[in-house]
Amino acid sequence: MALLKAEKVVKEFPPPTKDQPVVQALAGIDFEMSGKSFVSMVGPSGCGKSTFLNIVSGIETPSSGSIEVKADDGGRAKLGYVFQDPRLLPWRTVLDNLIYVQPKENKSAEYVQPYLDLVGLSGFEKMYPAHLSGGMQQRVGIARAFSVEPDLLLMDEPFSHLDAITARTMREELQSIWEQKKRTVLFVTHDVLEAVQLSDRIIILEYGGRNFADIPVDLPYPRLQTDPAVATMQAEILQVFEDMEARRAELDPRIAKPAESANTA
Amino acid sequence: MSSGSDVATAPREPLGDKAATQRTAAAMERLKAIVLSERAARWTARLSLILIWQLVGELSDRMPTPVDTFNFIIDEFQRPFEGTEATWWNNQVVQNTYLTVERTVLGMFWVIAIGIPLGYAMGTYWRAQATFTDIIMVGLALPGYIWALLSLMWFGFSVTAPVFTVAVSATPALVVFVMRGTLAIPRELRDMSHAYEVPFLERFRHLVLPSMAGAVIAGVRLAILAGWGLVLVTEWFGLPDGAGQQSRSWYDAANFDGLMGWALIIILIIIVFDRGVIERIDKRAHKWRGNIEGFGTKREGTG
């Protein structure tokens, strides 16, 4: 398990052309999570969720602010990352894809095999990714993430490209695996229902990459999307989104822009 | 016998004829599959070339026929390279082609040793690209035969001349291929490797090299073809031996059989190497593509 602490994280990207302002993906995110927790980060498209995940993983660096990721023992945390697309090495077998990310002492078929069993892919070890369906490839991605025994597991809309039935199955499997493995999980999604089903806490980001709300989800596991309590919670959160949109309309983006430009100058 | 109500029905065949018809149909299907196969297409092309060559040879007194060329090559195998007695090793064909191959291999060693690291550096670091781009352009722009003449002037009639020619002429092309291959390494796989903190050597072995394999193999293939030709040109212009020199001496003697014979030997060597070595490496490097449609694999029924 891990501690993740973000303080006033800002991320700006260079403008597409010289006469345009910088693109501000995150405008000062404050966030903390630790222990066995499953936190979903939800928000409209373009609010900076994936950017935040990339900063946590080290793929991107923040323009300002700080990110601290530590293991429970205070040492460097190991990360696992499930991307939106599987990102498997197409020229390596399923087994070799898991072995690729292992430290030296764990680079063996015997070590990674149980993780393939965990996601129901026994028997597919020697196959190449091109021979697998999208859902199966994503399972390999999940197995890969768990196989490094991460202190912090990052998941970026991992089921968004799957059909509804496969996605439902994968969510239930993920719940089961999380219960077994007891990880710290940061899960990005734009699907409120998915967030309510999986998480014990939901962070809502608004346009411009700012914190908007932090909502605990105190429902018993396992949860199904058809549970009435889940549906009720979903409705509450959707109301929060409506409040956010209303506030955004009040602020009128055209008037807000000069203030944002001053902040980024 | 048909009944009065079956006026439109054809008379029934006896049972034995039906089986024969089925066997004939099956044989026709097999024949069709063979005739329309990839192998049939290749052999049709090869035999057509030989037939056209034979026809031109019959019609022209400046073009030897395939039979004349083949006879010449046999004679060359029986002509000793040194001394008076020809053996399987000591003959004109084996010795001269061995020398040409040796020079090409030595030149290609430098091409690969310089071309791949430099191409990778130029594809990875903007400073390397800025530094070497113009130099590579000069290398690409100067024709190979100019390099051959310059190297003979500088190094004389030694093995250095053809090796140098290959190195300076073929390296730029390989650099360009490798650089393009490096730039094409999928960004998302690099990010994934970064997120999982995969060490550099592991990344190079499992991500960079396989990703670049297609470009590297294509570049090496082109470099070998170019290098082989450049060694022949260098030998033609100024060396005392080798396949290029042999071609030149028969040309000087206005012996068309000789010139054609050596041209055929030169072509066959490169084809054997390309099919026997390069193509196998290419297939192995891309075996992960398997029988997925869209990757240029054979369709069913085409042989």
**Is pLDDT above 90 for A1?**
no
Smallest Cβ–Cβ distance between B206 and the set A57, A80, A92 belongs to: A92
Q: What is the Cα Rg of chain B in Å?
A: 28
By C-alpha distance, the chain B residue nearest A78 is B196
User: Per residue in B217-271, pLDDT tens?
Assistant: 999 999 999 999 999 999 999 899 999 999 999 999 999 999 999 999 999 999 9
Please give the share of chain A, as a percent, with pLDDT higher than 90. Answer: 38
Q: Tell me, what amino acid is at B170?
A: A
B284 neighbourhood in chain A, CB within 8 Å: none
Residues of A in contact with B206 (CB under 8 A): 89, 92, 96, 100
Compute CA B262 distance to the chain's CA centroid, rounded to the nearest angstrom: 18
Q: Which of residues 84-123 of A touch B (CB under 8 A)?
A: 85, 87, 89-92, 96, 100-101
Query: Looking at chain A, which residue has its C-alpha nearest residue B207?
Result: A89
Q: Which domains does chain B have, with CATH numbers?
A: 15-63 (no CATH), 72-285 (1.10.3720.10)
- Which chain B residues are within 8 Å of A57, Cβ to Cβ? 194-195
Mutation for testing the A interface, residue in B207, B288, B292 having most A CBs under 10 Å: B288
Kindly list the residues from chain B whose CB atom is less than 8 angstroms away from the CB atom of residue A148: 196
Q: What is the pLDDT of residue A245?
A: 82
Q: Is A252 left (phi over 0), alpha (psi -120 to 50) or beta?
A: left
Beta strand A2-13 pairing with A23-34: antiparallel
User: Which of the residues B196, B212, B289, B293 would you substitute to probe the A interface, choosing the one with the greatest number of A C-beta atoms within 10 Å?
Assistant: B196
Contacts of B195 in chain A (CB under 8 A): 57-59, 79, 81, 154
pLDDT of residue B11: 57
Low-confidence ranges of chain B (pLDDT < 50): 1-6, 294-303
Q: pLDDT tens across A26-81, in order? A: 888 888 998 889 999 998 888 889 999 999 999 999 999 999 998 888 888 899 99
Q: Does B196 touch chain A (CB under 8 A)?
A: yes
Going from N- to C-terminal start, the domains of chain A cover 2-78+184-264
| Residue A243, helix vs strand vs coil | helix
pLDDT tens-digit profile of A158-186? 888 788 888 888 888 888 888 887 789 99
Say whether pLDDT at A141 is over 70.
yes
Distance set, CA B189 to CA A83, A88, A104, A207, A224 (Å): 11, 7, 20, 29, 34
pTM for this prediction: 0.74
- Return residues 268-287 of B near A (CB < 8 Å): 286
pLDDT at site A143: 92
Closest Cβ opposite residue B290 in set A54, A80, A131: A131
Here the ipTM equals 0.86
H/E stretch holding B268: helix B256-273
| Alpha helix segments (H runs only) across chain A | 49-57, 94-100, 109-118, 134-147, 164-181, 192-198, 228-251, 253-264
**Under CATH, what is the fold of the domain A2-78+184-264?**
Rossmann fold (3.40.50)
> Chain B residues with CB inside 8 Å of A83's CB?
188, 192
The residues with which A76 forms a beta bridge, in sequence order, are A70
The candidate with the shortest Cα–Cα distance to B185, out of A237, A192, A90, is A90
Q: What does pLDDT average to over chain A?
A: 86
Closest residue in B to A82 (Cα) is B192
**Measured between beta carbons, which residues in chain A are less than 8 angstroms from residue B289?**
130
- Which helix H or strand E contains B215, and what residues bound it? helix B209-238
At residue A19, the pLDDT reads 84
Cα B273 to Cα B224: distance, rounded to the nearest angstrom? 10
At A222 the pLDDT is 82
User: Is the pLDDT score of A13 beyond 70?
Assistant: yes
How many Å lie between the alpha carbon of A140 and the closest alpha carbon of chain B? Answer: 14
Find the CB nearest A81 among B195, B213, B288.
B195
pLDDT at B10: 55
The tens digit of pLDDT for each residue in A203-255 reads 998 888 888 889 999 988 888 888 888 889 899 889 888 888 888 777 766 64
Best mutation target, A100, A127, A131, A133, to test chain B (most B CBs within 10 A): A100
Give the model's pLDDT for residue A252.
63
Please choose, from the candidates B153, B157, B146, B163, the residue with its C-alpha nearest in 3D space to the C-alpha of residue B111. Answer: B163
* B208 φ/ψ angles, rounded to the nearest 5 degrees: -65, -55
Q: Tell me which chain A residues have a C-beta less than 8 angstroms from the C-beta of B290.
A: 128, 130-131
Would the CB atoms of B196 and A83 count as touching at under 8 Å? no
pLDDT of residue A175: 86
